[in-house]
Structure 1
Amino acid sequence: MPPERDTPATDPWTPLRRMTPARIGLGRRGDAPPLEAVLDFQLAHARARDAVHAALDVDALAAALEGRPHVAVRSQAPERGTYLRRPDLGRRLEPACLEALPRGEWDAVFVLADGLSATAVQRHAVPLLNATLARLPGFRVAPVVIATQARVALGDEIGAAIGARLCAMLIGERPGLSVADSLGVYLTHAPQSGRRDSERNCISNIHQSGGLSYAAAADKLAWLMAEALRLKLTGIGLKDEQQAALPEA
Protein backbone atom coordinates (compact mmCIF):
# COMPACT_ATOMS: atom_id res chain seq x y z
CA MET A 1 0.00 0.00 0.00
CA PRO A 2 1.26 3.56 -0.71
CA PRO A 3 2.38 5.53 2.36
CA GLU A 4 -0.23 7.72 3.97
CA ARG A 5 0.06 11.45 3.30
CA ASP A 6 -0.50 14.17 5.83
CA THR A 7 -3.81 15.97 5.53
CA PRO A 8 -4.24 19.63 6.51
CA ALA A 9 -5.59 18.38 9.83
CA THR A 10 -2.51 16.23 10.59
CA ASP A 11 0.26 18.17 8.83
CA PRO A 12 2.35 19.88 11.58
CA TRP A 13 3.27 22.73 9.16
CA THR A 14 -0.36 23.82 8.62
CA PRO A 15 -0.54 26.26 11.58
CA LEU A 16 2.67 27.98 10.44
CA ARG A 17 1.46 28.31 6.85
CA ARG A 18 -1.52 30.27 8.11
CA MET A 19 0.90 32.87 9.50
CA THR A 20 3.17 33.45 6.50
CA PRO A 21 3.12 33.32 2.70
CA ALA A 22 6.65 31.84 2.80
CA ARG A 23 7.12 28.43 1.21
CA ILE A 24 7.70 26.18 4.22
CA GLY A 25 7.24 22.48 4.77
CA LEU A 26 6.55 21.76 1.10
CA GLY A 27 7.26 18.06 1.47
CA ARG A 28 8.44 15.88 -1.40
CA ARG A 29 7.35 13.23 -3.82
CA GLY A 30 10.22 10.82 -4.15
CA ASP A 31 13.36 12.97 -4.48
CA ALA A 32 11.56 16.10 -5.78
CA PRO A 33 9.12 18.69 -4.42
CA PRO A 34 5.43 18.05 -5.04
CA LEU A 35 4.26 19.05 -8.52
CA GLU A 36 1.81 21.59 -7.08
CA ALA A 37 4.64 23.38 -5.23
CA VAL A 38 6.82 23.41 -8.36
CA LEU A 39 4.03 24.89 -10.49
CA ASP A 40 3.20 27.49 -7.83
CA PHE A 41 6.86 28.57 -7.72
CA GLN A 42 7.05 28.83 -11.51
CA LEU A 43 3.88 30.95 -11.59
CA ALA A 44 5.23 33.29 -8.89
CA HIS A 45 8.53 33.62 -10.76
CA ALA A 46 6.70 34.45 -14.00
CA ARG A 47 4.60 37.10 -12.27
CA ALA A 48 7.73 38.69 -10.79
CA ARG A 49 9.46 38.78 -14.18
CA ASP A 50 6.35 40.25 -15.81
CA ALA A 51 6.16 42.97 -13.15
CA VAL A 52 9.80 43.96 -13.71
CA HIS A 53 9.48 44.15 -17.49
CA ALA A 54 5.96 45.59 -17.72
CA ALA A 55 5.59 49.10 -19.10
CA LEU A 56 3.67 51.65 -17.05
CA ASP A 57 0.44 52.71 -18.76
CA VAL A 58 0.89 56.45 -18.25
CA ASP A 59 -2.39 57.37 -19.92
CA ALA A 60 -4.39 55.02 -17.69
CA LEU A 61 -2.61 56.28 -14.59
CA ALA A 62 -3.28 59.88 -15.59
CA ALA A 63 -6.95 59.08 -16.19
CA ALA A 64 -7.17 57.53 -12.71
CA LEU A 65 -6.13 60.90 -11.26
CA GLU A 66 -9.56 62.17 -12.40
CA GLY A 67 -8.53 65.64 -13.44
CA ARG A 68 -5.88 66.27 -10.81
CA PRO A 69 -3.07 68.36 -12.36
CA HIS A 70 -0.15 66.19 -13.43
CA VAL A 71 2.87 66.04 -15.69
CA ALA A 72 4.69 63.05 -17.19
CA VAL A 73 8.49 62.81 -17.24
CA ARG A 74 11.10 60.13 -17.87
CA SER A 75 14.62 59.34 -16.78
CA GLN A 76 17.68 59.22 -19.02
CA ALA A 77 17.23 55.45 -19.48
CA PRO A 78 15.74 55.23 -23.00
CA GLU A 79 14.07 51.83 -22.59
CA ARG A 80 13.59 49.01 -20.08
CA GLY A 81 16.68 47.00 -20.91
CA THR A 82 18.96 49.98 -20.38
CA TYR A 83 17.09 50.91 -17.23
CA LEU A 84 17.77 47.48 -15.70
CA ARG A 85 21.44 47.48 -16.73
CA ARG A 86 22.18 51.13 -15.87
CA PRO A 87 20.63 52.16 -12.54
CA ASP A 88 22.55 55.45 -12.73
CA LEU A 89 20.53 56.58 -15.75
CA GLY A 90 17.29 55.90 -13.88
CA ARG A 91 18.37 58.42 -11.25
CA ARG A 92 18.73 61.35 -13.66
CA LEU A 93 15.94 63.25 -15.37
CA GLU A 94 15.87 63.53 -19.15
CA PRO A 95 16.94 67.18 -19.72
CA ALA A 96 13.99 67.90 -22.03
CA CYS A 97 11.59 67.00 -19.20
CA LEU A 98 12.85 69.81 -16.98
CA GLU A 99 10.91 72.32 -19.07
CA ALA A 100 7.66 70.45 -18.39
CA LEU A 101 7.93 70.79 -14.61
CA PRO A 102 5.96 73.70 -13.11
CA ARG A 103 7.93 75.94 -10.75
CA GLY A 104 6.46 77.17 -7.51
CA GLU A 105 6.64 77.08 -3.74
CA TRP A 106 5.13 73.77 -2.67
CA ASP A 107 5.08 71.89 0.59
CA ALA A 108 5.25 68.58 -1.26
CA VAL A 109 5.33 66.87 -4.61
CA PHE A 110 4.13 63.31 -5.16
CA VAL A 111 5.96 61.30 -7.81
CA LEU A 112 4.31 58.13 -9.13
CA ALA A 113 7.17 56.07 -10.54
CA ASP A 114 7.29 52.66 -12.19
CA GLY A 115 10.48 51.48 -10.45
CA LEU A 116 10.90 47.71 -10.55
CA SER A 117 7.16 46.93 -10.59
CA ALA A 118 4.98 49.02 -12.86
CA THR A 119 2.18 46.65 -11.82
CA ALA A 120 2.35 47.94 -8.23
CA VAL A 121 2.14 51.58 -9.28
CA GLN A 122 -0.68 50.92 -11.71
CA ARG A 123 -2.76 49.23 -9.00
CA HIS A 124 -1.93 51.06 -5.78
CA ALA A 125 -0.38 54.48 -6.35
CA VAL A 126 -3.53 56.52 -6.99
CA PRO A 127 -5.60 55.02 -4.13
CA LEU A 128 -2.71 55.67 -1.75
CA LEU A 129 -2.24 59.19 -3.11
CA ASN A 130 -5.92 60.02 -2.61
CA ALA A 131 -5.94 58.58 0.90
CA THR A 132 -2.84 60.59 1.83
CA LEU A 133 -4.06 63.89 0.39
CA ALA A 134 -7.26 63.55 2.41
CA ARG A 135 -5.05 63.56 5.52
CA LEU A 136 -3.06 66.67 4.53
CA PRO A 137 -5.43 69.64 4.81
CA GLY A 138 -3.67 72.91 4.18
CA PHE A 139 -0.69 71.40 2.40
CA ARG A 140 0.40 73.14 -0.79
CA VAL A 141 0.79 70.17 -3.11
CA ALA A 142 2.41 70.46 -6.53
CA PRO A 143 0.96 68.80 -9.63
CA VAL A 144 1.50 65.05 -9.53
CA VAL A 145 4.53 63.83 -11.48
CA ILE A 146 4.32 60.50 -13.32
CA ALA A 147 7.84 59.19 -13.96
CA THR A 148 8.93 56.27 -16.13
CA GLN A 149 12.17 54.26 -16.08
CA ALA A 150 12.62 55.79 -12.65
CA ARG A 151 14.77 55.00 -9.64
CA VAL A 152 14.15 56.45 -6.18
CA ALA A 153 16.76 59.21 -6.53
CA LEU A 154 14.98 60.63 -9.58
CA GLY A 155 12.63 62.27 -7.09
CA ASP A 156 15.49 64.39 -5.77
CA GLU A 157 15.99 66.14 -9.10
CA ILE A 158 12.24 66.47 -9.65
CA GLY A 159 11.63 67.90 -6.18
CA ALA A 160 14.47 70.42 -6.49
CA ALA A 161 13.38 71.56 -9.95
CA ILE A 162 9.72 71.95 -9.00
CA GLY A 163 10.49 73.82 -5.75
CA ALA A 164 9.03 71.37 -3.22
CA ARG A 165 10.06 71.14 0.41
CA LEU A 166 9.22 67.42 0.43
CA CYS A 167 9.25 64.74 -2.25
CA ALA A 168 7.14 61.61 -1.72
CA MET A 169 8.16 58.98 -4.27
CA LEU A 170 5.52 56.25 -4.69
CA ILE A 171 7.43 53.54 -6.54
CA GLY A 172 7.13 49.87 -7.45
CA GLU A 173 9.29 47.68 -5.24
CA ARG A 174 11.42 44.80 -6.48
CA PRO A 175 9.01 41.85 -6.88
CA GLY A 176 9.44 38.79 -4.72
CA LEU A 177 8.13 35.27 -5.03
CA SER A 178 5.26 36.04 -2.66
CA VAL A 179 4.15 39.47 -3.92
CA ALA A 180 4.80 41.00 -7.34
CA ASP A 181 2.85 44.25 -6.86
CA SER A 182 4.25 45.75 -3.66
CA LEU A 183 4.42 49.56 -3.53
CA GLY A 184 6.99 51.54 -1.56
CA VAL A 185 7.12 55.21 -0.53
CA TYR A 186 10.34 57.19 -0.09
CA LEU A 187 10.04 60.57 1.62
CA THR A 188 12.83 63.15 1.31
CA HIS A 189 13.05 66.62 2.86
CA ALA A 190 14.72 69.36 0.80
CA PRO A 191 15.21 67.07 -2.21
CA GLN A 192 18.29 67.70 -4.31
CA SER A 193 20.68 65.60 -6.36
CA GLY A 194 23.15 63.71 -4.20
CA ARG A 195 20.83 62.89 -1.30
CA ARG A 196 21.79 59.64 0.45
CA ASP A 197 19.42 56.80 1.31
CA SER A 198 20.01 57.60 5.00
CA GLU A 199 18.30 60.95 4.37
CA ARG A 200 14.99 59.34 3.41
CA ASN A 201 12.14 57.61 5.23
CA CYS A 202 10.68 54.50 3.66
CA ILE A 203 7.27 52.86 3.95
CA SER A 204 7.20 49.50 2.20
CA ASN A 205 5.04 46.44 1.51
CA ILE A 206 1.91 48.38 0.52
CA HIS A 207 -0.52 46.10 -1.32
CA GLN A 208 -3.87 44.40 -0.89
CA SER A 209 -2.70 40.79 -0.46
CA GLY A 210 -1.82 40.85 3.21
CA GLY A 211 0.44 43.91 3.06
CA LEU A 212 0.06 47.39 4.54
CA SER A 213 -3.37 48.80 3.71
CA TYR A 214 -3.90 52.13 1.95
CA ALA A 215 -5.36 53.64 5.12
CA ALA A 216 -2.49 52.49 7.35
CA ALA A 217 0.13 53.62 4.83
CA ALA A 218 -1.58 56.99 4.36
CA ASP A 219 -1.75 57.54 8.12
CA LYS A 220 1.97 56.84 8.43
CA LEU A 221 2.96 58.92 5.40
CA ALA A 222 0.87 61.95 6.41
CA TRP A 223 2.33 61.82 9.93
CA LEU A 224 5.89 61.61 8.59
CA MET A 225 5.28 64.48 6.18
CA ALA A 226 3.95 66.76 8.89
CA GLU A 227 6.86 65.89 11.20
CA ALA A 228 9.38 66.33 8.39
CA LEU A 229 8.22 69.88 7.79
CA ARG A 230 8.18 70.62 11.51
CA LEU A 231 11.68 69.25 12.12
CA LYS A 232 13.04 70.15 8.67
CA LEU A 233 14.55 66.71 8.08
CA THR A 234 13.91 63.15 7.02
CA GLY A 235 15.92 59.95 7.25
CA ILE A 236 17.67 58.59 10.32
CA GLY A 237 16.91 61.79 12.23
CA LEU A 238 13.15 61.36 11.83
CA LYS A 239 11.94 58.46 13.94
CA ASP A 240 8.54 56.92 13.33
CA GLU A 241 6.91 57.57 16.69
CA GLN A 242 3.35 57.55 15.40
CA GLN A 243 0.98 55.72 17.67
CA ALA A 244 0.13 52.45 15.91
CA ALA A 245 -3.57 51.74 15.63
CA LEU A 246 -4.67 48.48 17.21
CA PRO A 247 -6.42 46.05 14.86
CA GLU A 248 -10.16 45.87 15.25
CA ALA A 249 -11.44 42.87 17.16
Structure 2
Amino acid sequence: MQDPAVPSRATRDLRSLTPARVALGRSGASLPTKPLLDFTLDHARARDAVHAAFDAPRLVAELREFGLAPAEASSRAVDRRDYLRRPDLGRQLEAGSAEALTRIATEPGRLAIIVGDGLSPTAVHAHAVALVKSLVPRLAADEPVAIGHVVVASGARVALGDEIGAILGARMVVMLIGERPGLSAPDSLGAYLTFAPTPGRTDAERNCVSNIHNAGLSHDEAAFKIAWLVREGLAGEVTGVALKDESGDRAPRRIGTALSE
Protein backbone atom coordinates (compact mmCIF):
# COMPACT_ATOMS: atom_id res chain seq x y z
CA MET A 1 0.00 0.00 0.00
CA GLN A 2 1.38 3.40 -1.02
CA ASP A 3 2.38 5.83 1.69
CA PRO A 4 -0.24 8.68 1.54
CA ALA A 5 2.51 11.19 2.30
CA VAL A 6 4.33 10.24 -0.92
CA PRO A 7 2.62 11.51 -4.11
CA SER A 8 2.14 9.16 -7.05
CA ARG A 9 3.92 9.70 -10.35
CA ALA A 10 0.75 11.13 -11.94
CA THR A 11 0.44 13.59 -9.08
CA ARG A 12 4.10 14.61 -9.36
CA ASP A 13 3.56 15.22 -13.08
CA LEU A 14 0.54 17.40 -12.31
CA ARG A 15 2.46 19.38 -9.71
CA SER A 16 5.18 20.12 -12.26
CA LEU A 17 2.60 21.91 -14.43
CA THR A 18 1.03 24.23 -11.88
CA PRO A 19 1.99 26.30 -8.85
CA ALA A 20 -1.36 25.35 -7.27
CA ARG A 21 -1.21 23.42 -4.02
CA VAL A 22 -2.27 19.92 -5.05
CA ALA A 23 -1.61 16.56 -3.42
CA LEU A 24 0.49 17.93 -0.60
CA GLY A 25 0.30 14.68 1.34
CA ARG A 26 -0.41 14.38 5.04
CA SER A 27 1.20 13.60 8.32
CA GLY A 28 -1.42 12.02 10.50
CA ALA A 29 -4.39 14.35 10.27
CA SER A 30 -2.26 17.36 9.25
CA LEU A 31 -0.05 18.61 6.48
CA PRO A 32 3.58 17.54 6.38
CA THR A 33 5.95 20.12 7.82
CA LYS A 34 7.44 21.38 4.53
CA PRO A 35 4.12 22.16 2.77
CA LEU A 36 2.93 23.89 5.94
CA LEU A 37 6.06 26.02 6.14
CA ASP A 38 5.85 26.81 2.40
CA PHE A 39 2.25 27.95 2.84
CA THR A 40 3.17 30.12 5.80
CA LEU A 41 6.02 31.73 3.86
CA ASP A 42 3.87 32.43 0.78
CA HIS A 43 1.11 33.85 2.95
CA ALA A 44 3.61 36.17 4.60
CA ARG A 45 4.91 37.30 1.20
CA ALA A 46 1.37 38.05 0.05
CA ARG A 47 0.69 40.12 3.18
CA ASP A 48 3.97 41.97 2.77
CA ALA A 49 3.07 42.78 -0.86
CA VAL A 50 -0.29 44.27 0.17
CA HIS A 51 1.24 46.44 2.88
CA ALA A 52 4.42 47.44 1.03
CA ALA A 53 5.17 51.16 0.76
CA PHE A 54 4.68 52.63 -2.70
CA ASP A 55 7.75 54.46 -3.99
CA ALA A 56 6.14 56.87 -6.48
CA PRO A 57 9.19 59.17 -6.75
CA ARG A 58 11.36 56.22 -7.77
CA LEU A 59 8.93 55.24 -10.54
CA VAL A 60 8.70 58.83 -11.73
CA ALA A 61 12.50 59.04 -11.91
CA GLU A 62 12.82 55.76 -13.81
CA LEU A 63 10.15 56.77 -16.32
CA ARG A 64 11.84 60.13 -16.84
CA GLU A 65 15.12 58.35 -17.55
CA PHE A 66 13.26 56.49 -20.29
CA GLY A 67 12.20 59.80 -21.84
CA LEU A 68 8.66 60.13 -20.52
CA ALA A 69 7.29 63.02 -18.47
CA PRO A 70 5.06 61.49 -15.78
CA ALA A 71 2.84 63.48 -13.47
CA GLU A 72 1.94 62.36 -9.95
CA ALA A 73 -1.53 61.99 -8.47
CA SER A 74 -3.16 60.55 -5.35
CA SER A 75 -6.55 59.16 -4.49
CA ARG A 76 -8.62 60.27 -1.52
CA ALA A 77 -7.23 57.42 0.60
CA VAL A 78 -4.95 59.19 3.06
CA ASP A 79 -2.81 56.13 3.92
CA ARG A 80 -2.54 52.41 3.25
CA ARG A 81 -4.89 51.49 6.07
CA ASP A 82 -7.48 53.88 4.74
CA TYR A 83 -6.96 52.48 1.23
CA LEU A 84 -7.58 48.89 2.32
CA ARG A 85 -10.64 49.70 4.44
CA ARG A 86 -12.27 52.15 2.01
CA PRO A 87 -12.05 50.90 -1.59
CA ASP A 88 -14.34 53.76 -2.67
CA LEU A 89 -11.70 56.34 -1.73
CA GLY A 90 -9.16 54.66 -3.99
CA ARG A 91 -11.48 55.28 -6.95
CA GLN A 92 -11.59 59.06 -6.44
CA LEU A 93 -8.89 61.67 -6.97
CA GLU A 94 -8.07 63.98 -4.09
CA ALA A 95 -8.84 67.60 -4.91
CA GLY A 96 -5.25 68.80 -5.28
CA SER A 97 -4.40 66.05 -7.77
CA ALA A 98 -7.51 66.78 -9.81
CA GLU A 99 -6.53 70.46 -10.02
CA ALA A 100 -2.94 69.62 -10.98
CA LEU A 101 -4.03 67.26 -13.75
CA THR A 102 -6.50 69.83 -15.05
CA ARG A 103 -3.62 72.29 -15.46
CA ILE A 104 -1.59 69.90 -17.64
CA ALA A 105 -4.54 68.78 -19.73
CA THR A 106 -3.82 71.32 -22.46
CA GLU A 107 -5.23 69.20 -25.28
CA PRO A 108 -6.96 65.82 -25.61
CA GLY A 109 -4.74 62.81 -26.27
CA ARG A 110 -5.32 59.38 -27.74
CA LEU A 111 -3.80 57.43 -24.87
CA ALA A 112 -2.92 57.93 -21.21
CA ILE A 113 -0.80 55.42 -19.30
CA ILE A 114 -1.38 55.31 -15.54
CA VAL A 115 0.81 53.40 -13.11
CA GLY A 116 -0.99 52.75 -9.82
CA ASP A 117 0.03 50.84 -6.70
CA GLY A 118 -3.14 48.79 -6.33
CA LEU A 119 -3.12 45.83 -3.98
CA SER A 120 0.52 44.95 -4.64
CA PRO A 121 3.01 47.83 -4.77
CA THR A 122 5.61 45.06 -4.91
CA ALA A 123 4.33 44.04 -8.35
CA VAL A 124 4.45 47.62 -9.63
CA HIS A 125 8.03 48.12 -8.44
CA ALA A 126 9.08 44.83 -10.04
CA HIS A 127 7.37 45.04 -13.43
CA ALA A 128 5.71 48.37 -14.33
CA VAL A 129 8.70 50.25 -15.73
CA ALA A 130 9.98 47.22 -17.65
CA LEU A 131 6.51 46.73 -19.15
CA VAL A 132 6.30 50.40 -20.17
CA LYS A 133 9.72 50.13 -21.83
CA SER A 134 8.47 47.17 -23.86
CA LEU A 135 5.08 48.75 -24.61
CA VAL A 136 6.17 52.17 -25.87
CA PRO A 137 8.11 50.88 -28.93
CA ARG A 138 5.19 48.63 -29.86
CA LEU A 139 2.81 51.59 -29.76
CA ALA A 140 5.21 53.60 -31.92
CA ALA A 141 5.47 50.89 -34.61
CA ASP A 142 3.27 50.40 -37.68
CA GLU A 143 0.30 52.71 -37.01
CA PRO A 144 1.73 54.86 -34.20
CA VAL A 145 -0.39 55.55 -31.14
CA ALA A 146 0.71 58.75 -29.41
CA ILE A 147 0.94 58.71 -25.63
CA GLY A 148 -0.60 61.93 -24.39
CA HIS A 149 0.14 61.64 -20.68
CA VAL A 150 1.75 59.32 -18.15
CA VAL A 151 0.62 59.46 -14.52
CA VAL A 152 1.93 57.70 -11.41
CA ALA A 153 -1.00 57.35 -8.99
CA SER A 154 -0.81 56.50 -5.29
CA GLY A 155 -3.62 54.81 -3.38
CA ALA A 156 -5.13 53.73 -6.69
CA ARG A 157 -7.92 51.37 -7.54
CA VAL A 158 -8.57 50.47 -11.18
CA ALA A 159 -11.45 52.94 -11.52
CA LEU A 160 -9.21 55.86 -10.55
CA GLY A 161 -8.02 55.71 -14.15
CA ASP A 162 -11.51 56.71 -15.31
CA GLU A 163 -11.41 60.05 -13.52
CA ILE A 164 -7.78 60.69 -14.49
CA GLY A 165 -8.48 59.87 -18.13
CA ALA A 166 -11.58 62.07 -18.21
CA ILE A 167 -9.68 65.05 -16.81
CA LEU A 168 -6.84 64.56 -19.30
CA GLY A 169 -9.23 64.13 -22.21
CA ALA A 170 -7.76 60.74 -23.15
CA ARG A 171 -9.64 58.60 -25.62
CA MET A 172 -8.28 55.52 -23.84
CA VAL A 173 -6.43 54.77 -20.62
CA VAL A 174 -4.13 51.88 -19.80
CA MET A 175 -3.94 51.37 -16.06
CA LEU A 176 -0.97 49.29 -14.89
CA ILE A 177 -1.70 48.22 -11.33
CA GLY A 178 -0.67 45.66 -8.73
CA GLU A 179 -3.11 42.76 -8.56
CA ARG A 180 -4.40 41.15 -5.40
CA PRO A 181 -1.52 38.90 -4.26
CA GLY A 182 -2.01 35.17 -4.41
CA LEU A 183 -0.15 32.46 -2.58
CA SER A 184 1.82 31.63 -5.73
CA ALA A 185 2.34 35.16 -7.08
CA PRO A 186 2.61 38.11 -4.70
CA ASP A 187 4.02 40.33 -7.48
CA SER A 188 1.48 39.97 -10.29
CA LEU A 189 0.81 43.10 -12.38
CA GLY A 190 -2.39 43.76 -14.31
CA ALA A 191 -3.17 46.11 -17.20
CA TYR A 192 -6.72 47.49 -17.55
CA LEU A 193 -7.79 49.24 -20.77
CA THR A 194 -10.82 51.55 -20.90
CA PHE A 195 -12.07 53.45 -23.93
CA ALA A 196 -13.65 56.89 -23.34
CA PRO A 197 -12.85 56.86 -19.61
CA THR A 198 -15.27 58.64 -17.33
CA PRO A 199 -16.34 58.04 -13.72
CA GLY A 200 -18.96 55.32 -13.52
CA ARG A 201 -17.49 52.92 -16.04
CA THR A 202 -17.98 49.27 -15.09
CA ASP A 203 -15.56 46.36 -15.31
CA ALA A 204 -17.60 45.05 -18.25
CA GLU A 205 -16.35 48.08 -20.19
CA ARG A 206 -12.67 47.22 -19.66
CA ASN A 207 -10.19 44.75 -21.05
CA CYS A 208 -7.65 43.18 -18.74
CA VAL A 209 -4.24 41.64 -19.37
CA SER A 210 -3.33 39.97 -16.08
CA ASN A 211 -0.74 37.70 -14.47
CA ILE A 212 2.26 39.70 -15.61
CA HIS A 213 5.12 38.35 -13.52
CA ASN A 214 8.19 36.14 -13.79
CA ALA A 215 6.26 32.86 -13.90
CA GLY A 216 3.32 34.28 -15.87
CA LEU A 217 3.16 36.59 -18.87
CA SER A 218 6.49 38.10 -19.82
CA HIS A 219 6.79 41.86 -20.26
CA ASP A 220 7.15 41.42 -24.03
CA GLU A 221 4.08 39.22 -24.38
CA ALA A 222 1.99 41.48 -22.19
CA ALA A 223 3.12 44.53 -24.17
CA PHE A 224 2.21 42.75 -27.40
CA LYS A 225 -1.32 42.05 -26.18
CA ILE A 226 -1.82 45.53 -24.70
CA ALA A 227 -0.65 47.26 -27.90
CA TRP A 228 -2.99 45.10 -29.99
CA LEU A 229 -5.95 45.86 -27.72
CA VAL A 230 -5.13 49.59 -27.71
CA ARG A 231 -5.16 49.76 -31.51
CA GLU A 232 -8.30 47.68 -31.90
CA GLY A 233 -10.07 49.53 -29.12
CA LEU A 234 -9.30 52.92 -30.64
CA ALA A 235 -10.30 51.75 -34.11
CA GLY A 236 -13.59 50.25 -32.92
CA GLU A 237 -14.15 52.87 -30.20
CA VAL A 238 -14.87 50.19 -27.63
CA THR A 239 -13.29 48.12 -24.89
CA GLY A 240 -14.68 45.46 -22.58
CA VAL A 241 -16.93 42.56 -23.49
CA ALA A 242 -17.35 43.90 -27.03
CA LEU A 243 -13.58 43.73 -27.69
CA LYS A 244 -12.17 40.20 -27.79
CA ASP A 245 -8.45 39.53 -27.68
CA GLU A 246 -7.79 38.01 -31.10
CA SER A 247 -4.14 38.99 -31.18
CA GLY A 248 -3.16 35.36 -31.64
CA ASP A 249 -0.21 33.68 -30.05
CA ARG A 250 2.65 35.25 -31.99
CA ALA A 251 4.58 36.48 -28.97
CA PRO A 252 6.87 34.05 -27.11
CA ARG A 253 5.14 32.17 -24.33
CA ARG A 254 6.82 31.97 -20.95
CA ILE A 255 4.05 30.65 -18.72
CA GLY A 256 5.50 28.14 -16.32
CA THR A 257 9.11 28.75 -17.35
CA ALA A 258 10.21 29.52 -13.82
CA LEU A 259 8.50 26.36 -12.57
CA SER A 260 10.50 24.09 -14.85
CA GLU A 261 13.87 25.68 -14.20
1:168 aligns to 2:174 (yes or no): yes
Aligned position for 1:202: 208
Quote how far apart the aligned CAs of 1:14 are: 1.0
Q: Which amino acid aligns with 2:113?
A: F
1:238 aligns to 2:208 (yes or no): no
1:107 aligns to 2:107 (yes or no): no
Quote how far apart the aligned CAs of 1:13 are: 1.7
Aligned position for 1:21: 19
In structure 2, which of residues 85, 107, 127 is the aligned counterpart of residue 124 of structure 1? Answer: 127
Aligned position for 1:150: 156
Matches within 5 A, 1:184-203: 184-203=190-209
In structure 1, which of residues 140, 149, 167 is the aligned counterpart of residue 146 of structure 2? Answer: 140
The 3 A distance-change label for structure 1 pair 247 and 156 is closer
Q: Which amino acid aligns with 2:71?
A: V
Tell me, yes or no, if the aligned pair for 2:207 and 2:241 is still in contact at 8 Å: yes
| Distance in 1 between residues matched to 2:204 and 2:161, nearest whole Å | 15
**1:38 is paired with a residue of what secondary structure?**
helix
| Distance in 2 between residues matched to 1:228 and 1:30, nearest whole Å | 55
| Between 166-175 and 232-241, the greater mean CA deviation after superposition | 232-241
**1:165 is paired with a residue of what secondary structure?**
strand
TM-score in terms of structure 1 length = 0.93
| Distance in 2 between residues matched to 1:142 and 1:125, nearest whole Å | 18
**1:191 is paired with a residue of what secondary structure?**
coil
Q: Which amino acid aligns with 1:45?
A: H
Quote how far apart the aligned CAs of 1:247 are: 5.2
- Size of the aligned set, in residue pairs, is 243
Q: Which amino acid aligns with 2:221?
A: A
Quote how far apart the aligned CAs of 1:31 are: 2.1
Aligned position for 2:68: 68
What percentage of residue pairs aligned between the two structures are identical? 53
Deviations 1:169-209 (A, max 9, x none): 0000000111000000100001001111111001100001x
| Distance in 2 between residues matched to 1:63 and 1:221, nearest whole Å | 23
TM-score in terms of structure 2 length = 0.89
**2:132 is paired with a residue of what secondary structure?**
helix
In structure 2, which of residues 185, 204, 213 is the aligned counterpart of residue 179 of structure 1? Answer: 185
Tell me, yes or no, if the aligned pair for 2:221 and 2:252 is still in contact at 8 Å: no
Quote how far apart the aligned CAs of 1:4 are: 10
The 3 A distance-change label for structure 1 pair 74 and 4 is closer
Aligned position for 1:217: 222
Quote how far apart the aligned CAs of 1:143 are: 2.9
The 3 A distance-change label for structure 1 pair 243 and 5 is closer
**2:138 is paired with a residue of what secondary structure?**
coil
Instruction: Give the CA RMSD over aligned residues.
Output: 1.7
The 3 A distance-change label for structure 1 pair 185 and 26 is same
| Distance in 1 between residues matched to 2:251 and 2:153, nearest whole Å | 35
The 3 A distance-change label for structure 1 pair 29 and 232 is same
Pick the structure with more helix per residue.
Answer: 2
Q: Which amino acid aligns with 1:114?
A: D
